[in-house]
A and B are shown apart, each in its own frame.
Chain A
Amino acid sequence: MRKVLVSLILGLIVALTWAVELVFWTAPNPLQEEFWKTVVAQWNKARPDIQIKVQTIPAAGSSEEAILTAIAAGNAPDFSENIFSGFAAQLADIGAIYPLDSFGADFQKLIETRKMKNIIEGWKIKGKYYVFPIYSNPMLFWWRGDLLKKLGYNNPPRTYNDIYEVSKKFADGKTKFTMQVVVGRNWWDRWFDFITYYYAASGGKPYIDVAKRKVNFGDDTGKQIVQFIYTMFEKKYTAVELGDNPFYKGVILGKITGPWEVNWAKETFPKVVPEIWFSAPPVPDNYPKDKPVYTFADSKGLVIYSTSKYKKEAFEFISWVFSNAQNDALWIEKTKMPPAREDLTTNPLFAKYMDDKFFKAYCEFVPYAVPPALIDKTIDIQQAMTTQLIEPLMYLKGKPLDILDKAVKEINKLLF
């Protein structure tokens, strides 16, 4: 007995001495942090030889900036989450991340186990898989059902014309506006306005032809969208500044958001939350009523950095987490975001979460949620979309079609 105990202790000492420690950066989101801390604690207990240290992505303008700064300074973690496809393309381009298909059959097995064979195809960068997608958040419009009811509506507006009609009854151009049309001035805000409107109006067509490196949104659909944005600003149905929490304060009737806002909204504005209605993004008036409306998928995943000495160990951890569907259930519980798996509505394990009206609404749109273009110049392109397209429309600087035309030319130059 004594011998066994001694050898066990010795074994433990040897294991701890030889243990490797991997640094894992998680999204700066308390709910996601909670999930990762829980699973990492379980892993660290089960695998004393491979210890994971969880750190939140350092504070910066965006996670991308923090990661790029760390790479530049030679302080990149071993692996991190919160990576969107365009950023992964940029990182893959400079050789900063490691292709996961290098793990061969183990990677394929993981994809099959997690039921994400089709999803992973959307993440192929130059024939390789660099990202393991964790979740896919369809962007939906939230509407103030209570205020719309008072205006005599039983459903949220569907088309641009519907929105103009509601605006005539509600917006006064000073303290009340119909909806938040433009989300912000950061490059990533374009995912949640123009790109979302384009996916919705075009039936999910890519806004950039990645293979030809050409802009697609200069077409008729794009023209309808710029006209809509311009009209909303011109008629003062929306404004450049709407103040803080305009949706919850009743300044606006509608806004686009993702499931990450659900828990916060429930805690901060418990009286408003039960009154919320959901809808797909607005579409042009000629969009068929029976055709599904597509939206943008805010989808993020995990990557392993090329500089890591422990790539195999990192992959082992990723496999361990995502081979177990219970961990995806835990993810839903903690974050309310739909995991990037294809069996969400069919797997009985996730059935109970469908009782939550928010989660159900988001899950229903997963099949119609399109991720961003896999282009290495995402930040430049979307910054140009902000300055050449969105801001001129917001400030009514020129005719909408001329603005679009100029923006398309500028962005094509960037892509060339």
Chain B
Amino acid sequence: MSNCSKLGKKERAFGYSVIFPYLAYTAVFWGYPFIWMVVLAFTKWNYFSKPQFVLLSNFLRIFTDSLVIRIALNTLNFLAYLIPMVLFASLFFAMALTKVKFGKTFIMLSFLVANVSSGVAYSLLFSNLFSINGPINRLMDSLFGFTIPWFSNPQLAVFSICLIITWKFIGYYGLIIYAGLLSIPQSIYEAAELDGADKKTIFWKITLPLLNPSLITVTVLAITLTFGIFTEPYMITGGGPMQRTTTFLIYMYDTAFKRIDPSYATTVAIVTALVSYALVMLIRKFFEKEVVFV
């Protein structure tokens, strides 16, 4: 007897009524944009005229678009700074948190405030803080006699933006790693100490390997985050200098709303999503390890 026939009419009606809002929501806010995305990727549209079918020309254009290559390199540049910075900072934060005896919740919340702050607001704040005659550079000048072009040097601009993003996410990612640290059984540390392992060995041979799931989670989140960087460069550097802080999202936005080419912007979005997904899968394949506490 099938499950369906076991249920009465009323129960089935109740079931459908419960899932209907979700289905309707998905159809409107996911299904419709998804279909529209597919339509846009294979057509040329300018918001006014009817979309014209153009086969794969939007996809082919990506391979000849020098700016896409520039942005891909920029993304690698961001990844090269952001992943180590985020991993190190959040690991340090999590380990420091384990040493704190009082006010732990307050410290955690304080760091999380950055994560829920408005991107526009803190971008403006950092932009003024790091400007050539801002407080940081004034201090540097009075102490050491030189200033740092935080946002006007192409390479430093990438680094500075990564610094801001790290500041924003240190609390959130730190908590993920902190949870990972708490889940490592104390008995393993005790056994290691009995065997005469020093702190360094314990960190490298026990803590770090057993934190693998948390570290991979943070890495994956940071990768997806890197592919979605928008507010900070948009507000602070405008994608410059020398296009070094132009990200895929800035390019999509500009293409859709400045160049009036939503079709190509959509295609770039699809390709970006696929590339970031492939990168995440690669990271998981090579670095993810199953951790079992026996």
**Is A243 close to B, CB under 8 A?**
yes
Chain B residues with CB under 8 A of A397: 242
Using a CB-CB cutoff of 8 Å, which residues 367-416 of chain A contact chain B? 379-380, 383, 386-387, 391-392, 394-395, 397
Using a CB-CB cutoff of 8 Å, which residues 226-277 of chain B contact chain A? 234, 237-243, 254, 256-260, 262
**Is A94 touching B131 in the complex (CB atoms < 8 A)?**
no
**Is A64 touching B149 in the complex (CB atoms < 8 A)?**
no
Contact A68:B241 (CB < 8 A) given known A61-B234, A241-B149: no
Contact A380:B241 (CB < 8 A) given known A240-B149, A243-B131: no
**Is B258 touching A68 in the complex (CB atoms < 8 A)?**
yes
Chain A residues with CB under 8 A of B151: 241
**Is B49 touching A94 in the complex (CB atoms < 8 A)?**
yes
Using a CB-CB cutoff of 8 Å, which residues 52-94 of chain A contact chain B? 61, 64-65, 68-69, 71-72, 90, 94
**Is A95 close to B, CB under 8 A?**
yes
Chain B residues with CB under 8 A of A186: 238
Give, as a whole number of angstroms, the nearest-CB distance from B99 to chain A. 41
Using a CB-CB cutoff of 8 Å, which residues 96-154 of chain B contact chain A? 128, 131-134, 149, 151-152, 154
Residue of A241, A391, A392, A395 touching B131 (CB-CB under 8 A): A241
| Complex: A225 Cα to B239 Cα, angstroms | 25
Chain B residues with CB under 8 A of A355: none
**Is B17 close to A, CB under 8 A?**
no
| Complex: A95 Cα to B234 Cα, angstroms | 29
**Is B257 touching A65 in the complex (CB atoms < 8 A)?**
yes
**Is B131 touching A379 in the complex (CB atoms < 8 A)?**
no
**Is A185 touching B241 in the complex (CB atoms < 8 A)?**
yes
| Complex: A185 Cα to B256 Cα, angstroms | 20
**Is B286 close to A, CB under 8 A?**
no
**Is B257 touching A69 in the complex (CB atoms < 8 A)?**
yes
| Complex: A392 Cα to B259 Cα, angstroms | 23
In the complex, the number of residue pairs spanning A and B with C-beta atoms less than 8 Å apart equals 71
Q: Smallest CB-CB separation from A186: which chain B residue?
A: B238
Give, as a whole number of angstroms, the nearest-CB distance from B36 to chain A. 12
Give, as a whole number of angstroms, the nearest-CB distance from B132 to chain A. 4
**Is A387 touching B133 in the complex (CB atoms < 8 A)?**
no
**Is A72 touching B262 in the complex (CB atoms < 8 A)?**
yes
Residue of A96, A243, A395 touching B132 (CB-CB under 8 A): A243
**Is B48 close to A, CB under 8 A?**
yes
Chain B residues with CB under 8 A of A61: 234
**Is B257 touching A68 in the complex (CB atoms < 8 A)?**
yes
Contact A379:B241 (CB < 8 A) given known A241-B149, A243-B131, A244-B133: no
**Is A272 close to B, CB under 8 A?**
no
**Is A354 close to B, CB under 8 A?**
no
**Is A147 close to B, CB under 8 A?**
no
Give, as a whole number of angstroms, the nearest-CB distance from B207 to chain A. 43
Chain A residues with CB under 8 A of B48: 71, 94-96, 306
Chain B residues with CB under 8 A of A68: 47, 257-258, 260
Give, as a whole number of angstroms, the nearest-CB distance from A131 to chain B. 18
**Is B154 touching A395 in the complex (CB atoms < 8 A)?**
yes
**Is A71 touching B47 in the complex (CB atoms < 8 A)?**
yes
Q: Smallest CB-CB separation from A184: which chain B residue?
A: B238
**Is B46 close to A, CB under 8 A?**
yes
**Is A379 touching B149 in the complex (CB atoms < 8 A)?**
no
**Is A380 touching B242 in the complex (CB atoms < 8 A)?**
no
Chain B residues with CB under 8 A of A242: 132
Tell me what chain B mostly uses at the interface: helix, strand, loop, or mixed.
Answer: loop
Chain A residues with CB under 8 A of B149: 240-241
Give, as a whole number of angstroms, the nearest-CB distance from B19 to chain A. 30
| Complex: A95 Cα to B46 Cα, angstroms | 10
Q: Smallest CB-CB separation from B66: which chain A residue?
A: A410
Chain A residues with CB under 8 A of B152: 240-241
Contact A72:B257 (CB < 8 A) given known A94-B49, A387-B240: yes
Chain B residues with CB under 8 A of A72: 47, 256-257, 262
| Complex: A344 Cα to B212 Cα, angstroms | 74
**Is B132 touching A241 in the complex (CB atoms < 8 A)?**
yes
| Complex: A96 Cα to B152 Cα, angstroms | 37
Q: Smallest CB-CB separation from B145: which chain A residue?
A: A174
Tell which of B49, B131, B152, B260 has the most Cβ of chain A within 10 Å.
B260
Q: Smallest CB-CB separation from B137: which chain A residue?
A: A243
| Complex: A72 Cα to B132 Cα, angstroms | 38
Give, as a whole number of angstroms, the nearest-CB distance from B137 to chain A. 9
B interface footprint on A94-122 (CB within 8 Å = 1, 0 otherwise): 11100000000000000000000000000
Residue of B241, B242, B243, B258 touching A65 (CB-CB under 8 A): B258
Contact A387:B260 (CB < 8 A) given known A71-B47, A243-B133: no
**Is B49 touching A95 in the complex (CB atoms < 8 A)?**
yes
| Complex: A94 Cα to B257 Cα, angstroms | 13
Chain A residues with CB under 8 A of B243: 387, 391
Give, as a whole number of angstroms, the nearest-CB distance from B70 to chain A. 9
| Complex: A68 Cα to B256 Cα, angstroms | 9
Using a CB-CB cutoff of 8 Å, which residues 243-269 of chain A contact chain B? 243-244, 251
A interface footprint on B79-108 (CB within 8 Å = 1, 0 otherwise): 000000000000000000000000000000
Residue of B49, B241, B257 touching A391 (CB-CB under 8 A): B241
**Is B47 touching A387 in the complex (CB atoms < 8 A)?**
no
| Complex: A203 Cα to B177 Cα, angstroms | 65
Chain A residues with CB under 8 A of B47: 68, 71-72, 94, 96
Q: List 19 A-B contacts (CB under 8 A).
A: A65-B257, A65-B258, A68-B47, A71-B48, A72-B257, A185-B237, A185-B239, A241-B131, A241-B149, A241-B152, A243-B134, A244-B133, A379-B258, A379-B259, A380-B258, A383-B258, A387-B242, A391-B240, A395-B154
Contacts A68-B257, A239-B132, A383-B258 known; list 19 others, CB within 8 Å: A65-B258, A68-B258, A68-B260, A72-B256, A72-B262, A94-B47, A95-B48, A95-B49, A240-B241, A241-B131, A241-B132, A241-B152, A244-B128, A379-B259, A380-B259, A383-B254, A387-B240, A394-B241, A395-B241
The 10 A-B pairs at the shortest CB distance, nearest first, are namely: A243-B133, A241-B132, A240-B152, A185-B240, A94-B46, A241-B152, A94-B48, A68-B257, A379-B258, A72-B47
